[in-house]
């Protein structure tokens, strides 16, 4: 998204967790083995061949490219 458009929405999405969900979600992360004393990052990408949408080379990503820069 062009930077000029980022602030042009009447009701933009907020990147924060609602207070009433923090404890439950923190416990879920701990259950997955995430150490609460360390930072972590979630990668979200669209794989090629998603069943309900046609291929879009500018949006589709190859998961192996992301795995190369991760700690897995």
pLDDT at 56 (0 to 100): 80
Nearest Cα to Cα of residue 36 among 26, 44, 45, 46: 26
pLDDT at 30 (0 to 100): 93
pLDDT at 1 (0 to 100): 59
- 3: Cα separation from own chain's centroid: 19
Place of tokens 């416990």: 27
Nearest Cα to Cα of residue 63 among 49, 38, 41: 49
Distance CA(62)–CA(34), nearest Å, equals 25
Q: Which two tokens stand for residue 43?
A: 């990668």
Residue ranges for the chain with pLDDT beneath 50: none
Distance CA(15)–CA(62), nearest Å, equals 26
């Amino acid at each position: 998204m062009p930077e000029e458009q980022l602030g042009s929405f009447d009701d933009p999405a907020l990147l924060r967790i609602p207070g009433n969900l923090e404890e439950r979600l923190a416990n879920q992360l701990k259950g997955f083995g995430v150490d609460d004393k360390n930072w972590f990052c979630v990668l979200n990408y669209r794989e090629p061949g998603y069943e309900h949408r046609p291929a879009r080379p500018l949006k589709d990503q190859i998961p192996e490219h992301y795995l190369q820069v991760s700690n897995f």
